Amino acid sequence: MINRHTILALIEEDSVLRSMDQSVFMANDVILKEGDSNRYLYLLMKGEVELHKEGPDNNKVHIDQLEPGDLVGLVSFVSGRPALTSAIALSEVSLLRINHREFEELVEGTNSLSTLFHQLIVDNLLNRYQNTIGLQMKYENLNRQLHQERDQLRAALNQIEAVQQQLVSQEKMALLGELSAGISHELNNPSAALARSVEHLNESLSQIIVQVKGLTSDQLNQVLNIGRTDKPMGTMDVRKKTVQLEAKYPKLDRTLTRKLARCSEDARSYFMREIPRKLLSEAMEVYEAGQILSIMGESTRRITSLVQSLRSFIRPTTGYETHLDVREGLLSTIQLLHHKLKSHELDLDLQDIPAVAGNPGELNQVWTNILDNACDALINQKGKITIRTCHEKNRVFINIINSGPNIPDEVKKRIFDANYTTKNTNGTFGLGIGLTITKDIISKHRGYIQVLDAEGGGAWFRIILPATREKSEN
């Protein structure tokens, strides 16, 4: 291996080479411009040269730094193609400029200088080859790193998505949790009535079998039917009636008087007209059995419908339907929130509206959120909640208005922001993202939500959803 400095020293001394053009460039001078054709091969004698390439967005990409003994513009000079890189002087440099003729002489000559020159070229090429391998290695490394980072990013993204999904479902579960207290109450009433009724009917039936002797089977049938279909009076009327009955039939015992007072007017007049006084308690027992049956039927109906409402609420979020009647969801939600809503006056104005496309479970979440909020706004007072649906062209409007306090404008701006809540901590299960999720869900359904001031005070939530386009019709 020959030392470059030895070669340079020899060239200094060589008369032929010394006769060749010596070019001197000052710092930052462009020796060779990228893209230009190159007619010279430069040998760097002194100073330093930087090679760089124009990248995208006019960024200069540093390629290499050359030292004395290196050749500048070798590839473009030999191949005749435009220069691949620009060469810029970093300091004052002196270069030996070799033209084609001189080059050929140098290459083809057999003297020691030629040999030296050959060696220099080979050395340069070797150097470049080495550089290329290093670069390739570097590139591979970088590429690998890049892949890793990309994978990490993707994982992070997935995680973020999962968390968001979790939050949404947590909020839903929180809502459900808040509802569940009410739902359990709602379920408990009919189930308690049902449980007690079964037992009462048991007792009642055995009593009827043992005691009821005086009534004809016709009367039995009739009384049972009356009992099954009778709508008992409200407690206030029962009290008034009890006083009247006590005055009119002072000999009847207290329980019988009360039971008679509870019957509807028709049932009572039937009893007083058709049933002999001494069979009255027997008849009452049968009537009660009928009443118990009717309570059982009613309780069963209520449990069934409540379970249905619940089912539509917890429907998985993937379910998507093209023809949804928003009102069904509203009614289900009202039923689930009955325990909270029943403290207030409820004004329902559900006009016929076109179907919308969407996820019923998610939309129920929206109604629940807004109605729940409305109840919270009316806490400690008896207020009014209005729910009105209407439509205009292809848009469906759902208006939910409560008679609570107005929402201040600064709150209105932030009400759909995450983690913004005006609820105090006690008694609420929400994460404070209820309305945020509401807004997301509505956006997902290509709709939007507005908060307005209601006429005469209160908050007015208006949700606008696009109606399903009817393609197949006509």
Partner 1 sequence: MKNKAEIYILIVEDEAGVLSAIVRDMEYFEEQFPIEMTESVEEARDVVKNILDHNGQLGLVICDHILPGTHGADFLVELQNDEKTAKAMNVLLTGQAGLDETIKAINEGGLKHFIAKPWDKDELINISIKLLTDYVIQNENDLLPYMKLLDQERIAAELHKGSRLSDR
* x/- track of binding to partner 1 for residues 126-155 (CB under 8 A): ------------------------------
Write down the least CB distance from residue 288 to partner 1, Å.
8
Sign of CA dihedral 132, 138, 143, 144: positive
Using an 8 Å Cβ cutoff, are 267 and 226 in contact?
A: yes
Nearer to partner 1, 60 or 239 (CB): 239
Instruction: In whole angstroms, give the CA distance from residue 128 to residue 141.
Output: 20
- Under rule CB under 8 A, which residues in 333-362 are in contact with partner 1? 339, 342-343
Q: How many other CB atoms are found less than 10 A from the CB of residue 335? A: 18
By CB under 8 A, is residue 471 in contact with partner 1?
no
Nearer to partner 1, 295 or 431 (CB): 295
Write down the least CB distance from residue 287 to partner 1, Å.
12
By CB under 8 A, is residue 200 in contact with partner 1?
yes
Nearer to partner 1, 4 or 258 (CB): 258
- Under rule CB under 8 A, which residues in 401-430 are in contact with partner 1? 426-427
* x/- track of binding to partner 1 for residues 176-195 (CB under 8 A): -----xx-xx-xxxxxxxxx
Nearer to partner 1, 34 or 246 (CB): 246
Of these, 254, 273, 278, 393, which contacts partner 1 (CB under 8 A)? 254
Nearest CA to 103 among 78, 85, 79? Answer: 78
By CB under 8 A, is residue 462 in contact with partner 1?
no
Tokens 């419908």 label which residue? 305
By CB under 8 A, is residue 197 in contact with partner 1?
yes
Write down the least CB distance from residue 239 to partner 1, Å.
7
Nearer to partner 1, 114 or 180 (CB): 180
Write down the least CB distance from residue 326 to partner 1, Å.
27
By CB under 8 A, is residue 307 in contact with partner 1?
no
Nearer to partner 1, 15 or 235 (CB): 235
By CB under 8 A, is residue 238 in contact with partner 1?
yes
Of these, 128, 258, 384, 412, which contacts partner 1 (CB under 8 A)? 258
Of these, 1, 209, 210, 236, which contacts partner 1 (CB under 8 A)? 236
Name the one range near partner 1 by CB under 8 A: 18-26, 59-67, 231-239, 271-279: 231-239
- Under rule CB under 8 A, which residues in 364-393 are in contact with partner 1? 382
Q: How many residues does the chain have?
A: 474
Of these, 30, 135, 156, 243, which contacts partner 1 (CB under 8 A)? 243
By CB under 8 A, is residue 210 in contact with partner 1?
no
Nearer to partner 1, 33 or 339 (CB): 339
Write down the least CB distance from residue 427 to partner 1, Å.
7
CA-to-CA dists, residue 245 to 227, 250, 254, angstroms: 20, 7, 10
Using an 8 Å Cβ cutoff, are 332 and 309 in contact?
A: yes
Write down the least CB distance from residue 472 to partner 1, Å.
46
CA-to-CA dists, residue 166 to 310, 329, 429, angstroms: 20, 23, 16
By CB under 8 A, is residue 208 in contact with partner 1?
no
By CB under 8 A, is residue 240 in contact with partner 1?
no
- Return the HEC string of the chain: CCCHHHHHHHHHHCHHHHHCEEEEECCCCEEECCCCCCCCEEEEEECCEEEEEECHHHCEEEEEEECCCCEECHHHHHHCCCCCCEEEECCCEEEEEECHHHHHHHHHCCCHHHHHHHHHHHHHHHHHHHHHHHHHHHHHHHHHHHHHHHHHHHHHHHHHHHHHHHHHHHHHHHHHHHHHHHHHHHHHHHHHHHHHHHHHHHHHHHHHHHHCCCCCHHHHHHHHHHHHHCCCCCHHHHHHHHHHHHHHCCCCCHHHHHHHHHCCHHHHHHHHHHCCHHHHHHHHHHHHHHHHHHHHHHHHHHHHHHHHHHHHHCCCCCCCEEEECHHHHHHHHHHHCHHHHCCCEEEEEECCCCCEEECHHHHHHHHHHHHHHHHHHCCCCCCEEEEEEEEECCEEEEEEEECCCCCCHHHHHHCCCCCCCCCCCCCCCCCCCHHHHHHHHHHHCCCEEEEEECCCCCEEEEEEEEECCCCCCC
Of these, 60, 62, 118, 239, which contacts partner 1 (CB under 8 A)? 239
Nearer to partner 1, 116 or 306 (CB): 306
By CB under 8 A, is residue 246 in contact with partner 1?
yes
Nearer to partner 1, 8 or 245 (CB): 245
Of these, 234, 424, 455, 474, which contacts partner 1 (CB under 8 A)? 234
Nearer to partner 1, 160 or 192 (CB): 192
Tokens 């939910």 label which residue? 400
- Under rule CB under 8 A, which residues in 272-301 are in contact with partner 1? 288, 291-292, 295, 298-299
Q: Point out which residues bind partner 1 (CB under 8 A).
A: 181-182, 184-185, 187-197, 199-200, 232, 234-236, 238-239, 243, 246, 254-255, 258, 288, 291-292, 295, 298-299, 339, 342-343, 382, 426-427
